[in-house]
Structure 1
Amino acid sequence: MRNLNLKLICTTDLHMELFGYDYLMDKPNPDRGLLKLASTIMAHRIGKNSLLFDNGDFLQGTPLADEIAPSSQHLLAEAFNELGYDAITLGNHDFDYGLDVLEGFLHQLDAPVVGSNISGTPDSVKSHLVMNRTFRCEDGSRAEIRIGVIGLLPPQTTVWNAHCLKKRVVIEDIVEAAKRAAENAREDGADIVIALAHAGLDQSAPHHLMENALVPLSHLKCLDAIFGGHTHEWFETHSNHVSSRLGSVPVVQSGSNACGFGVIDPTLSEHPTWSVVSFETQLERPKSDTPNPKLFGYILDAHQRVREKLAKPVGASSRPLSNHFSMIGFDDGIKLVHEALLEHATHITDELGLPTTACYTSFSSDGAFGSKKFLNTEGRIIRERDLSSIVPFNNPICVIGTTTERLRKWISESSIFLNEIAPRQNSQALLSGKSPSYFFDQFSSISYQIDLSQSVNDHRRRIPRLAWNGEELENGQSLAVIASTYRAYGGGGFVYTNPDQTIWESTQGARDIVAKYLENIGTFNPCDAPLWTFAPVPETQLTFELPRSYRVKPAINGLSQVSDDDTTIRYQLDLRELAPTGQ
């Protein structure tokens, strides 16, 4: 009986982080970048029975990605080919530029592409793969192993990207497709089957069309190893917080943005066919800050071009713009987007004659991407990099119909970003830690309050006031919402509207709309009023912290500084209705 050891390596959610550079801050980012991971990946492969995979969401995510998306000599394809990837699968964001761009990229790859729960994609995407590889056994002999590979992505992708997929793509349930594809791979002679699953962990009970289906996948006996993705988490099978939920199949998920990669080391035994008898898992970070010199040469020109483009002014403002206080309703970036969207869609909304609101969110106002990621313009010039920070995803916008009840539910449930607090207690945290800032949608042109003493599931009490033009909106009243197609069609798990309620869809992306708006108005003058207010809660004080990097502090009743150090300022908020000082 012979044994052999395999080394399965997988990157995930690269989001076009090639160089390890923060283009929005115009500074190197030493903790990420495929070029910096390359030497560590190759060290794992030298002299080993190894296979290298990618788990999707590789094509989109940085200004560099936007710049080179339709390239016939794509830099990421060059990098994948140079590193010798054995197979890749697709993630939801790989469709963001449309099928034509995706197909052009895939044709440049040496590696095969697998998508087991998807149809309607380019012919190069296979439902399953069986790859023949010759590996060295522990006794020095050589054996041919047939490696089955399947690929899976969230079914919700067709909803999130409805604007560019145009119903040309169908995506099935992850678990059902995995069973079928694994069985087909076995029938084609696969000794082991590896699942590249662009999905994360979900604590809820397994259900049809589950977005993050790693837990039910890990209980499938037809699989031998699973690489997860999509949710940007770090874990492996033996992690304390996931081990009790996962089945017997080893699972690894290695974050995002080329900050590391996952490794599964199965031992195979021949008796008489080959099968996995044991395994080890590992999470790896880059061992060097030095980019691979050959890969670096590929991207240098494009890298410099993007930096120059992002430094160009696109508009001006009456004062520096900030989103540091977005969690209490003061966000200059959201106000700018709201104004631009309302202006862009005015010809539609005027004709409708309905109460109309614009919806947008902040992608960095909780410091989720590091304290330096807050919006913080230099002086009164708005540069391309500031606009990309405010609107990182250039999704088209649409006008969608809804009702008062649905809008109240939307506002209430997205406010899970904020805590549910106990009245008459001090020093409670303002932020819940249950959701990032980019799921906290904020609305303009309507007046509403958020009552933090109420549950997000009690929509009527959590949002006690919802008015337009000074009059309370009645239940059943029709409204129009201007939002990105991603959010309006359910992106991020928001199911308060659907594509069937679309009244109008723009052909322009939100970032392009804001840029044109700035060009037309000359100078943006952000108002001092908050986007919304808190409902008063007696004798209750909340706390939150901000980095010292902000330049603009709004004058707000009830807001006071209680402590600070070299990097952080701690604030206290008396929970009463917020308004600019003097109102």
Structure 2
Amino acid sequence: MFPFSRLTVVVLSAFMALPVMAANLQLRIIETSDVHAHLTDFDYNQNQTNPKIGLTRAANLIKQARREVKNSVYVDNGDVLQGSMLGDYMAAKGLAENEKHPSYLALEKLNATASVVGSHEFNYGLDYLNRAIANTSVPILSANVFDAKTKAPYFKPYLFKIMMLKDEQGQKHRVNVAFIGFTPPQVLQWDKRHLDGKILVSDIVLTAKKYVPLLKYLGADVIIALNHSGLGDGKTDINQENTTLALSKIEGIDAIAFGHEHDLFPSENFAHVAGVDVNQGTLNQAAATMPGQFANHIGVIDLILNNDSGKWRVINKSAQLRPIFDEKTQKPLVSNNWRLKWAMRPYEKATRKFVAQPVGNGAAPMANYLSLVQDDPTIQLINNAQTDYVQRELAGLPALAKLPILSAAAPLRAGGRHNDPTAYTDISQGNLTYRDVVNLYPSPSTVAAVKVNGAELKEWLECSASVFQHLQSGSSDVQPLVNWAGFHTYNFDVIDGVSYQIDVSKPARYNGDCLLVNPKSQRIRQLTFNGKPVHPQAEFIVATNNYRAFGGKFAGTGKNKVVLDSSVENRQVISHYIYTQTEQNGAVIAQADQNWRFAPVAANAYFETSPTERAKNYIEQNAVHPYIWSGTDGQGFAMYQFDMQK
């Protein structure tokens, strides 16, 4: 049965039966996505304002885009509650019974028509999310999340609006506009501790194929999908994480506001993809935008509707992005919206006080400017803390305590997706605060551990090594080292406790999704434990986070491999480790042990990193190779060359 009453059908049928005069009209859809609680332009990591981020700046772009047209709606595509220290502060404080979450308050003040439940909305638990949603007037949508017991939709699946839109002559017309939201099924793995046994999440594409005919039956003239999901490959394998390209093939969907991957669409990054027109801003039959992260862009979709046939139909569509900052001139393109800035001021002030809490001392500066080319002290500290915690947790379990404990961690702030030269971890020597801990580990994930064998361990590292391009040995060209387009740096796991080399003269064995693409290739060489080669059947415990442990993407991970599923956040473990090391030794020491390096290759390569003087000084003092600065690229990143044979 479709979830609507007979009265609904009668009313809608009456609206549909009203005569309309032939006309054209324009409907603009304005999108933000993956704001991640960056509600203002204050960067808590850097403890200063940053004109490249912030909903208070994007707010003026939204206002401007609305003024340009007669008809517009603003939608947010999710991941709005978590991702900045303000989000952490609100979760630590908790929401009072009728208290509005500042992220949803900001959407209200911007007159958002709807938002979707993003993947990170669950990070602080269902009770917290439910209260935040209950206290906002903004409809929060997700059509593919269901109550595990009743099987009923857990959130509002769609929003059906009968809108009065003006045509080119200023005459008003009734147009039925439907908004439907989607959430990636992987949230069941990523936030298992919060969601297990409470919700079910169905396949995005199958759910859309169920609801789109329903919305058309209800009389929708325009259907707009809010898809908190990346582009994907267009395939329809069940429960895919990134589904927008596949969704764009479904007849009836006119526009898609998407995100999740923090990338930019339309942009030349996707010009090679079949079905994509980056000039028009379309994916197959739908107009679409993906506006980056932290409100650094807005998406603008324009639909032209015509009713010559007696029904409103979309006859033209286009999409574009609008940035808040010009990377070429290094100047902001828009100021703060001071009404929103003033409304967010109390939350910003409280957050700054919250993150200034002391946790211990650091014996030396730590930065991850070189984390993609050599072993790194920030990763070392995370791995040391995870190893310490898991050792203590497993000490009372004889069958597991006797196994060697390794630890896996990746650079979580290392240039974004080659789109943010400021997104690096840099922590000064001396007093360490909670701000520094979050700088080290931005995610509120929890500690978990898996039991793997030597063969799985090697394949895990093989997938991590996919972050690097295949270099041509003997070439005289300076070749790019990092595969920004096909890989996320947060998947470049460094596993401490073993030693190994990465041979980039071989093609990557896996792609960025850990799918085997070159079965005969082997990049991981000289994998040893305690100086001896790792036997394929040798057993290890690997400390990591719940996302990785339950993800099943990397070899050795997945639900059946998990031996420790803690409710303690990685950040809590890091804070405790810093505190205890400070108590015992006066400061925490996180010197990289250089357990991995590149195998020598007859090639010159370059890599990208932060362009600041602080970064340049750190690289000069901590380089294990003679890296040579060679200017900046079009994204504002510093470029360094080095001889990989040395």
TM-score by length of 1: 0.91
Instruction: State how many pairs are aligned.
Output: 574
Question: Secondary structure of the equivalent of 1:422?
Answer: coil
Match of 2:348 among 303, 306, 309: 303
- Which residue matches 1:360? 409
In the other structure, the counterpart of 2:599 is: 535
1:143-292 aligned at under 5 Å gives the runs 143-203=173-233, 205-236=235-266, 240-242=271-273, 244-245=275-276, 246-270=283-307, 271-286=309-324, 289-292=334-337
Q: Distance in 1 between matches of 2:90 and 2:157?
A: 28
Counterpart check, 1:559 vs 2:625: yes
1:422-466, CA deviations, whole angstroms, 9 ceiling, x for partnerless residues? 334454433333424222100111122222222331587311222
Deviation at 1:475, TM superposition (A): 1.4
Q: CA deviation at 1:393?
A: 0.8
Which residue of structure 2 aligns with residue 572 of structure 1? 642
Looking at structure 1, the residues matched to 528 and 321 of structure 2 have their Cα atoms a distance apart, in angstroms, of: 50
- The equivalent residue for 1:499 is 559
Change (3 A) 1:115 1:328: same
- 1:129 touches 1:149 (CA, 8 Å); kept in 2? yes
Q: 1:309 to 1:32 in 2, by over 3 A?
A: same
State how far apart, in whole Å, the 1-side matches of 2:146 and 2:252 are. Answer: 22
2:440 is the alignment partner of 1:413? no
Q: Which amino acid aligns with 1:437?
A: T
CA deviation digits over 1:503-532, x for unaligned, max 9? 122221001111111111111123353031
* Deviation by residue 1:71-111 (Cα, 9 ceiling, x = unmatched): 32211222111221112211111111111111111112212
Deviations 1:7-63 (A, max 9, x none): 222211111111012111112111221112223322333472222211111111100
Give the corresponding residue for 2:328: none
How far did 1:478 drift?
2.3
- Name the CA distance, whole Å, in 1 between partners of 2:109 and 2:390: 46
- Aligned partner of 2:65 in structure 1 is 44
Q: Partners in 2 of 1:556 and 1:60 — Cα distance?
A: 33
Q: Does the 8 Å contact 2:451/2:539 carry over to 1?
A: yes
Q: Which amino acid aligns with 2:355?
A: L
* Aligned: 1:377 with 2:427: yes
Aligned to 2:142: 115
Give the secondary-structure state (helix, strand or coil) at the position aligned to 1:80. helix
Sequence identity (%): 27
Match of 2:13 in 1: none
Look up the equivalent residue of 2:434 and give its one-letter code. Answer: E
Query: Could you tell me which residue of structure 1 aligns to residue 162 of structure 2?
Result: 132
Secondary structure of residue in 2 paired with 1:207: coil
Counterparts of 1:333-482 in structure 2 under 5 Å?
333-350=378-395, 351=398, 352=400, 353-365=402-414, 368=418, 370-425=420-475, 427-433=478-484, 434-457=486-509, 461-482=522-543
In structure 2, relative to structure 1, the CA distance for the partners of 1:335 and 1:568 (3 Å cut) is same
Whole-angstrom distance in 1 between the partners of 2:215 and 2:541: 49
Other-structure match for 2:19:
none
Q: Is the 8 A contact 1:362 1:437 kept in 2?
A: yes
More displaced 10-residue stretch of structure 1: 426-435 or 412-421? 426-435
Q: Which amino acid aligns with 2:438?
A: S
- Is the alpha carbon distance of 1:459 and 1:485 closer, same or farther for their aligned partners in structure 2, counting shifts above 3 Å? farther
> SS of the counterpart of 2:525?
coil
Q: RMSD across aligned C-alpha pairs, in angstroms?
A: 2.7
**CA 243–38 in structure 1, closer or farther in 2 if over 3 Å, else same:** farther
Amino acid at match of 1:575: Q
CA distance in 2, matches of 1:324, 1:386: 16
For the Cα contact (< 8 Å) 1:36–1:288, is it kept in 2? no
The partner residue of 1:73 within 83, 95, 100 is 100
Which whole-Å CA distance do the structure 2 matches of 1:109 and 1:495 have between them?
A: 42
- What is the SS of the residue equivalent to 1:125? coil
SS of alignment partner, residue 560 of structure 1: coil
Go from structure 1 to structure 2 and tell me whether the alpha carbon gap of 1:324 and 1:279 turns closer, same or farther (over 3 Å shift).
closer
Query: Which amino acid in 2 is paired with 1:84?
Result: N
1:556 to 1:5, Cα distance in 2 relative to 1, 3 A = closer
Instruction: Give the whole-Å Cα distance in 2 for the aligned partners of 1:5 and 1:574.
Output: 56
Q: Which moved more, 1:399-408 or 1:200-209?
A: 200-209
Bigger drift between 21-30 and 69-78 goes to: 69-78
Give SS of 1:25's match.
coil
Q: Is the 8 A contact 1:408 1:460 kept in 2?
A: no
Shift of the 510–556 alpha-carbon distance from structure 1 to 2, 3 Å rule, reads closer
SS in 2 for 1:464: strand
Q: Distance in 1 between matches of 2:74 and 2:351?
A: 29
Name the residue aligned to 1:90.
117
Please tell me the residue identity of whatever aligns with 1:317: G
Is 522-531 or 403-412 further displaced after alignment? 522-531
Relative to structure 2, which stretch is displaced further, 424-433 or 66-75? 424-433
Specify whether residues 464 and 8 from structure 1 end up closer, same or farther in structure 2 by C-alpha distance, changes over 3 A only. Answer: same
* Aligned partner of residue 524 in structure 1, secondary structure: coil
Code of the residue aligned with 1:272 in structure 2: it is G
Checking the alignment, whether the CA contact within 8 Å between 1:542 and 1:572 is kept in structure 2 is yes
Deviates more, 1:265-274 or 1:546-555: 546-555
Alpha-carbon distance change, 555 to 264 in structure 1, aligned in 2, over 3 angstroms: closer
- Distance in 2, matches of 1:128 and 1:370, equals 34
| Superposed counterparts of 1:94-109, under 5 Å | 94-109=121-136
Q: Is this contact kept in 2: 1:314–1:382, CA < 8 A?
A: yes
Asked if 1 retains the 8 angstrom alpha-carbon contact of 2:507 and 2:521, the reply is no
* d(CA) in 2 for partners of 1:152, 1:371: 31
- CA change 1:553–1:253 in 2 (3 A) is closer
Shift of 1:564: 5.8
**Deviation readout 1:252-271 (Å, 9 max, x if unpaired):** 22222111221222122222
SS in 1 for 2:342: helix
Aligned to 1:549: 614
Q: Counterpart of 1:310 in structure 2: which amino acid?
A: V
Distance in 2 (CA, whole Å) between partners of 1:247 and 1:83 is 30
Match of 1:579 in 2: none
SS of 2:426's equivalent in the other structure is: coil
The structure-2 alpha-carbon separation of the partners of 1:429 and 1:247, relative to structure 1 and needing over 3 Å to count, comes to: closer
Structure 2 gaps of 5+ residues are 1-21, 277-282, 325-331, 510-518
- Match of 1:358, as an amino acid? S
Distance 1:97 1:496 in 2: 27
**Equivalent residue number for residue 28 of structure 1:** 49
Secondary structure of the residue that 2:231 maps to in structure 1?
Answer: coil
Q: What is the deviation of 1:568?
A: 4.9
TM-score normalised per structure 2: 0.82
1:305 to partner: Cα distance: 2.4
SS across alignment from 1:78: helix
Q: Which of the numbers 485, 489, 503 marks the counterpart of 2:550?
A: 489
Q: Rate the CA distance shift 1:189–1:495 in 2: closer, same or farther, 3 A.
A: farther
Equivalent position SS for 2:178: strand
- Give the partner amino acid of 1:267: I
CA contact (8 A) 1:391 1:511 kept: yes
Q: CA deviation at 1:343?
A: 1.1
Alignment match, 1:580: none
CA contact (8 A) 2:25 2:306 kept: yes
